């Protein structure tokens, strides 16, 4: 029997979507679902949603829930990781303290001050997951959704090189889907290829029956001044390749926008957006918990586009798919650092995940990715070596923070973040 473990199953909004997608495949209707979370109430809610999903779909998986992670992982073939260390309280810290120093952020989960400290508090838990997997399910695939994706996949490749781990994110898919809507071409009729780093990959090819669709996009942008008031449209017009994450995300990864009020207004950048998103997620969880407690049905919600169900289905059935995924750079992109986590096309089949060699990125795209990865490398090295100075150096290299603050302020900000996060951080980095 195929066993799928959910680590961080208390992220019930996401768990509900993934379960609906997985259990909708006839070949996966009788899988074993092992749910784990450290929050008993959230775990109970996730289990209730899983049982209801099975009932609504008329399938009969085995469903277990446990607060003990290693028990959940025993015998798993697939482990879906979606933890958020510190929860919404830590997210608020990631926004509020930098804001008090004058640093504006929008999402704060991938790069920047928020991304660095989210990584540092996530790394110890990822190490524990990897150690447990290598002990009780050494052949399983770890399907990671937790951000900061590029740092987390890089960290796992360093501390557990024997682990089969891949980072999954829907940003490439939804970028292309949105662009296809914009130019009036069905997504399923297009061919596309993207590469770079997670949340800052580049749409290198995008075609419909041999036609380069960038020409149509240029026409739409030229005809609509409001389209030009978006960060990634602005980046595309200047760099020549469209970035594969939202404008909210993209604004944080470059030094050009968030430090300037005029640019925030021109490009309509929603500062502090993720705080509202996080609060909405908590409210949705509370609503689902109340619905279950009242004995009512929580409606199914399919994503239909998330990669984890597709990956599992391909490996179980041998159906071949091509996705975009995050893996260590082992001669995949020639002008990005070897070993860094890169996002590239991958073929998935019964034998696993097979990354495609891209070659080299356009130099302007590689230059931005190199700056992005410099922050990630210093963060990973800080944790590996237990060096608090390297944490400060990572934030010094961050494009948004360095465009906003003096170096003394960056160090003071890191001191304040370290104190606020306290024992969520590795002990060696609490200085």
Cβ–Cβ under 8 Å, residues 205 and 216: no
CA atoms within 13 A on the CB side of 49: 31
Distance of CA 246 to the CA centre of its chain: 13
C-alpha distances in Å from residue 233, one per residue of 31, 224, 344: 43, 11, 22
Identify whether 259 is a catalytic site residue.
no
Catalytic residue among 170, 208, 302, 356: 170
- Do the beta carbons of residue 49 and residue 298 sit within 8 Å? yes
Strand partners, 353: 348
Pairing mode, if any, of strands 62-66 and 32-36?
parallel
Instruction: Please tell me whether 249 is known to bind a ligand.
Output: no
Number of H helices, E strands in the chain: 17, 13
The C-alpha atoms of residue 334 and residue 332 are separated, in whole angstroms, by 6
**Size (the chain), residues:** 431
Structure-block tokens of residue 410: 């960056």
Q: Write the DSSP string, 332-384.
A: SBTTS-TTSEEEEEEEEETTEEEEPP-B---HHHHHHHHHHHHHHHHHHHHHH
**Sign of the alpha-carbon dihedral angle for 172, 303, 143, 24:** negative
Q: Is 199 within any annotated ligand binding site?
A: yes
Cβ-contact 23, 52 below 8 angstroms: no
* List of E strands, 112-174: 141-144, 164-168
Q: Please give the distance of CA 182 from its chain centroid, rounded to a whole number.
A: 25
Instruction: Give the CA distances from residue 46 to residues 77, 230, 285, 370, in Å, rounded to whole numbers and listed in that order.
Output: 20, 37, 10, 39
Q: Are 395 and 173 in contact (CB under 8 A)?
A: no
Q: How do beta strands 200-208 and 242-243 pair?
A: antiparallel
Q: Which helix (H) or strand (E) holds 263?
A: helix 261-266
User: Measured at the alpha carbon of residue 243, what is the angle toward residues 239 and 247, in degrees to the nearest 5?
Assistant: 105
Contact 118, 88 (CB under 8 A): no
User: Is 212 marked within a binding site?
Assistant: no
Residues contributing to the annotated binding site for Mn(2+): 169, 199
Residues contributing to the annotated binding site for substrate: 147
Residues contributing to the annotated binding site: 147, 169, 199
Catalytically active residues are 170
């Amino acid at each position: 029997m195929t066993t799928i473990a959910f680590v961080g199953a208390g992220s019930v909004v996401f768990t509900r979507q993934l379960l609906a997608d997985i259990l909708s495949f006839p070949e996966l209707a009788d899988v074993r679902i092992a749910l784990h979370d450290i929050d008993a109430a959230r775990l109970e809610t996730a289990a209730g949603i899983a049982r209801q999903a099975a009932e609504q779909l008329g399938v009969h998986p085995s469903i277990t829930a446990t607060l003990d992670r290693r028990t959940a992982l025993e015998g798993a073939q697939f482990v879906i990781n979606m933890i958020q260390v510190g929860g919404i309280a830590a997210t608020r810290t990631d926004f509020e303290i930098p804001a008090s120093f004058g640093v504006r952020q929008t999402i704060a989960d991938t790069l920047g001050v928020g991304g660095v400290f989210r990584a540092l508090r996530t790394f110890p838990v990822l190490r524990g997951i990897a150690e447990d997997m290598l002990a009780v399910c050494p052949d399983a695939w770890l399907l990671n959704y937790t951000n900061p994706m590029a740092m987390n996949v890089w960290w796992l490749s360093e501390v557990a090189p024997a682990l089969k781990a891949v980072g999954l994110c829907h940003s490439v898919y939804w970028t292309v889907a949105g662009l296809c809507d914009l130019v009036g071409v069905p997504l399923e009729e297009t061919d596309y290829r993207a590469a770079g780093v997670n949340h800052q990959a580049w749409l290198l090819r995008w075609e419909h029956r041999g036609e380069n669709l960038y020409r149509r996009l240029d026409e739409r942008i030229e005809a609509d001044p409001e389209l030009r008031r978006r960060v990634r449209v602005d980046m595309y017009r200047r760099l020549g390749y469209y970035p594969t994450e939202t404008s909210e995300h993209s604004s944080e990864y470059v030094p050009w926008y968030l430090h300037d009020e005029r640019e925030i207004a021109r490009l309509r950048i929603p500062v502090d957006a993720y705080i509202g998103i996080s609060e909405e997620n908590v409210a949705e969880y509370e609503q689902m918990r109340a619905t279950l407690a009242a004995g009512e049905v929580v409606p199914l919600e399919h994503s239909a586009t998330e990669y984890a169900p597709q990956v599992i289905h391909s490996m179980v059935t041998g159906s071949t798919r091509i996705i975009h995924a995050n893996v260590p750079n082992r001669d995949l992109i020639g002008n990005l650092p070897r070993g860094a986590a890169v996002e590239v096309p991958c073929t998935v089949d019964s034998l696993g995940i097979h990354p495609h060699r891209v070659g080299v990125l356009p130099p302007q795209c590689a230059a931005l990715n190199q700056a992005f990865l410099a922050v990630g490398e210093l963060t990973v090295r800080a944790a590996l070596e237990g060096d608090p100075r390297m944490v400060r150096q990572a934030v010094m290299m961050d494009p948004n923070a360095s465009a906003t603050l003096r170096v003394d302020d960056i160090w003071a900000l890191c001191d304040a973040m370290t104190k606020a996060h306290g024992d969520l951080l590795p002990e060696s980095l609490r200085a």
